[in-house]
């Protein structure tokens, strides 16, 4: 059993890379590779196998599983994907937790519907985004001729702490000046005559043929996952999707997501009011981790899902009505 490589390491111990995190779901499991920022789907039995072989001598494992076809496949898979390594040490330190208190931003992730109302009050809007310390910003415009408006919004945010900007607007000729804004990482161009994707200079342009009606729906899909050490760390301590995340509608109302019927404040209020009232109200549910929410508590995406479902009180704690069913691993 095992590759030549494993046969040559018989006297060593099997270790699992600490940057690869095993998460068991109800129907299937996953390995989050937080160094490569990728996810690998695996059967639940593979997790049990890893738990069994981790820290054991290679020769013991080879002896116990000798002639076991599935164990051989699992071992080859773990080796090929570089999830395990062999060492003369039987264990290595686990990933050390990072403090989430070091981040001084009031809000980190913001989606904004840039309406005429927000544009007319651009200075106040930009000042508040700056003072909130927003790092990732999505700007949505629905004007067929919005390049001038967009460039003015982008210039107003020049001195903010925003490090990553994504955009969505209707199909039109994109001004070359937009590409000068190096913080822009992706653009969704809707109502496009044809579907295509262009990846140029670290910026992805996705042309989609549909309109914007479904762009902000609260529905889980596989693009909504964040695999990184920071995301994992937040997910272990907070609700990753809602933590320091807001949606700002065309009237400036601050909400959790586009379908939220409540407003917790307005982005055009003075900053002290936003900080004292809106952020305080929003933060009340940041602590409700996915482990306390049904069915997220059995979902393999519970430490990487960024879909902003608002948990509601239920008999056993909290629940969300998700379009992904972790009991069957199917989408509704």
| Chain residues in the site for ligand SF4 (CB under 6 A) | 220, 290, 295-296, 299, 301-302, 305, 307, 309, 320, 322, 324, 326
Closest approach of Cβ 298 to ligand SF4, in Å? 8
Tokens 């040490």 -> residue: 89
The Cα 91–Cα 88 span in angstroms is 9
Q: Which is nearer to ligand SF4, 244 or 290 (CB)?
A: 290
Closest approach of Cβ 311 to ligand SF4, in Å? 9
Inter-residue contact 12 to 90 (CB < 8 Å): no
Q: Which is nearer to ligand SF4, 78 or 320 (CB)?
A: 320
Closest approach of Cβ 254 to ligand SF4, in Å? 22
Q: Which is nearer to ligand SF4, 4 or 222 (CB)?
A: 222
Q: Which is nearer to ligand SF4, 6 or 322 (CB)?
A: 322
Inter-residue contact 70 to 46 (CB < 8 Å): no
Strand partners, 325: 330
Closest approach of Cβ 97 to ligand SF4, in Å? 21
Strand partners, 207: 189, 196
CA distances (Å), origin 159, targets 7, 61, 155: 58, 57, 8
The Cα 171–Cα 63 span in angstroms is 63
Q: Which is nearer to ligand SF4, 253 or 307 (CB)?
A: 307
Inter-residue contact 61 to 86 (CB < 8 Å): no
Inter-residue contact 324 to 261 (CB < 8 Å): no
Q: Report the SS3 class of residue 264.
A: coil
Q: Which is nearer to ligand SF4, 282 or 320 (CB)?
A: 320
Closest approach of Cβ 299 to ligand SF4, in Å? 3
Residue 205 CA, distance from chain mean position: 19
Closest approach of Cβ 320 to ligand SF4, in Å? 5
């Amino acid at each position: 059993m095992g590759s030549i490589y494993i046969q040559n390491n018989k006297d060593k111990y099997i270790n699992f890379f600490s940057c690869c995190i095993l998460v068991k779901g109800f129907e299937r499991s996953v390995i989050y590779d937080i160094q490569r920022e990728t996810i690998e789907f695996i059967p639940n039995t593979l997790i049990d196998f890893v738990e069994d072989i981790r820290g054991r001598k290679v020769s013991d494992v080879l002896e116990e599983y000798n002639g076991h076809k599935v164990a051989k496949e699992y071992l080859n898979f773990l080796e090929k994907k570089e999830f395990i390594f062999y060492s003369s040490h039987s264990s290595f330190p686990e990933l050390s937790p990072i403090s989430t208190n070091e981040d001084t931003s009031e809000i980190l992730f913001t989606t904004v519907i840039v309406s005429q109302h927000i544009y007319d009050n651009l200075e106040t809007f930009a000042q508040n985004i700056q003072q909130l310390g927003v790092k990732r910003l999505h700007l949505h415009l629905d004007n067929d001729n919005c390049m001038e408006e967009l460039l003015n919004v982008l210039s107003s945010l020049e001195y903010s702490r925003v490090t990553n900007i994504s955009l969505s607007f209707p199909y039109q000729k994109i001004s070359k000046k937009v590409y000068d804004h190096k913080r822009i990482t992706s653009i969704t161009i809707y109502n496009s005559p044809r579907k295509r994707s262009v990846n140029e200079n670290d910026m992805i342009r996705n042309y989609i043929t549909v309109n914007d009606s479904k762009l902000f729906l609260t529905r889980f899909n596989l693009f909504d996952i964040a695999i990184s050490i920071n995301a994992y760390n937040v997910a272990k301590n907070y609700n990753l999707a809602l933590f320091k995340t807001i949606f700002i509608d065309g009237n400036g109302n601050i909400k959790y997501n586009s379908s939220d019927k409540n407003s917790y404040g307005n982005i055009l209020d003075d900053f002290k009011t936003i900080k004292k009232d809106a952020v305080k109200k929003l933060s009340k549910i940041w602590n409700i981790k996915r482990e306390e929410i049904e069915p997220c508590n059995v979902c393999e995406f519970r430490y990487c899902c960024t879909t902003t479902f608002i948990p509601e009180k239920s008999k056993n704690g909290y629940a969300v009505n998700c379009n992904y069913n972790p009991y069957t691993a199917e989408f509704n």
